[in-house]
Amino acid sequence: MPKDSTRAIHEGEEEVLGISSFITPIYQTAVFPYPLNGERGFRGRPLKYSREDNPTNIVLERRLASLECGEDALVFSSGMAAISTCFFNFLSRGSKLVLSREVYGSTIPLAKSFEKFGVKVELRGPDTEDIVEAVKSGCNVVFVESMSNPILRVVDLDLLASTCRDCRALLIVDNTFATPLNLKPLTRGADVVVHSLTKYIAGHNDVIGGAVVSTGKVIEDLWSWRTRLGCILDPHAAFLVLRGLKTLSARLKVSQENAKAIAEFLEEHSKVSKVYYPGLPSHPTHSVAKRLLRGYGSVLSFELKGDGEVARRFLGELKVVKASPSLGGTETLASHPASSSHKDLPKEERERLGISDSLIRLSVGLEDVNDIVEDIDRALRACSP
């Protein structure tokens, strides 16, 4: 089988479209001619309407399924649309959903909105062992992230997937932070993988999208929900994701190298009290990361010596690095979780998760690493008392 970097460029085009083209076209159409000869299209049904399927999307779906070692995939208008569709499909009255308390900030209120439909929602963790105990107590669906935000805790998928299998609980893994190049959760026992395509996979901060990868049966069920909800990815957005996906391997190699160098620099800096990066031996889940991951990603977090005001001054002093909440793009971005992604959590809960008022999250991009380091060093010295 070709390597990931090769499949990210070529997988799916000729098989789905039956044409030879280096670039997948944008099928900017709402409808397709109905096949009067009874010809069956992709997934055993003819192309009729772009709310159901679109050839540009199908190429992307085949490519993502291949990279994640799944049978099939679907793409959505956002990562939250992908997660929402999974919840609609897998949850019903009487179901119990267990989530890691460290999942993406919008995922928790989404899950809790299902409580009015008779779904029980339980937050556990952040340690994998605590989530495992919740699974053993009984549940139907488990939702975790392969690497948490912003502490970058790596979930022990071997342990969790084994427990879910024994307890007959369905395991959904958000693999956005790891990417399929660093981790393939389906090969570790997960049932479903979701992605925010907005981040690493598209990689240029110019498109919003999501994806789900799983078995053919699961994807068939989710396809029905996606069609009803109307949350399919736009074909032009799919084209941009396909373009970004072709350079994922090259981008990730550079950004991970940059992130490692910056993490090591920050760990020795006099103005920094703690650094969170799975590639550092000091990280609490380094041993799990070393066992599961092919690479450690390009997101890291660090605590400044000071309070939240020092953190805000630090963000204001940055020049090369931009203050913004996203990640996985070509630009290096810095954010303040306590006032952005986790602002709605009580301070006690934030501190329980390790999110202090002085914590900064850094998504490292493709700029020259020395320029990034110099910018961070200057900002640290300018903002600190």
CATH number at residue 365: 3.90.1150.10
How far the first Cα of the chain sits from its last, in Å, is 56
Q: Which pLDDT band holds residue 36 (cuts at 50, 70, 90)?
A: low
Q: For the domain that residue 197 is a member of, what is the CATH number? A: 3.40.640.10
196 with 280, same domain?
no
Identify whether residues 77 and 28 lie together within a single domain: yes
Average pLDDT over residues 148-163: 97
Considering 211, 246, 281, which residue would you say is the last residue of a domain? Answer: 246
- Please give the DSSP secondary-structure letter assigned to residue 127: S
Q: What pLDDT sits at residue 37?
A: 60
Residue 130 tokens, joined: 């605590």
Q: What percentage of residues in the chain have a pLDDT greater than 90?
A: 81
pLDDT at 195: 99
pLDDT at 34: 78
Regarding whether 326 and 214 lie in a shared domain, the answer is no
- In terms of C-beta density within 10 A (0-12 exposed, 13-18 middle, 19 or more buried), how is residue 70 classed? buried
Give start and end residues of each alpha helix (H) in 189-302: 216-229, 235-246, 248-267, 286-292
Query: Which range of residues forms the domain containing residue 125?
Result: 4-246
Q: 343 Cβ partners below 8 Å, 6+ apart?
A: none
Domain end residue (candidates: 192, 217, 246)? 246
Q: Is the pLDDT of residue 40 over 70?
A: no
Shared domain for 225 and 262, answered yes or no, is no
Q: How many CB atoms lie within 10 A of CB 3?
A: 9
Q: Which residues carry out catalysis?
A: 51, 104, 174, 199
Is 330 or 39 the better-scoring residue by pLDDT?
330
pLDDT the model gives residue 340: 74
Query: Do 290 and 204 share a structural domain?
Result: no
Q: Is residue 15 over pLDDT 60?
A: no
pLDDT for 242: 97
**Residue type present at position 64:** L
User: Quick one: 186 and 300 in the same domain?
Assistant: no
What single-letter DSSP state applies at residue 184? -
Question: Could you tell me if 52 and 142 lie in one domain?
Answer: yes
Please count the structural domains in the chain.
2
Q: How far is CA 146 from CA 211, 249, 345, 369, in A?
A: 15, 19, 22, 26
Q: Based on the domain organization, do 240 and 258 belong to the same domain? A: no
Q: CA-to-CA distance for 59 and 24, rounded, in angstroms?
A: 8
Q: What's the rounded mean pLDDT across residues 253-281?
A: 98
* pLDDT, mean over the chain: 94
| Per-residue pLDDT at 372 exceeds 80 | yes
Q: Is the entire prediction scored with pTM above 0.75?
A: yes
pLDDT value of position 88: 98
| Average pLDDT of span 285-306 | 97
Question: Which of 224, 246, 268 lies at the terminal end of a domain, its last residue?
Answer: 246
Q: Residue 344 corresponds to which amino acid?
A: D
235 and 255 housed in the same domain: no
User: Given a cut of 80, is residue 385 above it in pLDDT?
Assistant: no
Same domain, 115 and 160: yes
Tens-digit pLDDT profile for residues 200-238: 999 999 999 999 999 999 999 999 999 999 999 999 999
- Cβ atoms 214, 191 nearer than 8 A: yes
Residue 348: pLDDT over 70: yes
Does residue 199 share a domain with residue 302? no
Say what the pLDDT of residue 5 is. Answer: 87
Size of the chain, expressed as the number of residues it contains:
385
For residue range 49-86, what is the model confidence (pLDDT) as tens digits? Answer: 999 999 999 999 999 999 999 999 999 999 999 999 99
Same domain (yes/no): 281, 212: no
Report the pLDDT value the prediction gives residue 121, as an integer from 0 to 100. Answer: 98
User: According to the model, what pLDDT value does residue 23 have?
Assistant: 86
Contact 322, 333 (CB under 8 A): yes
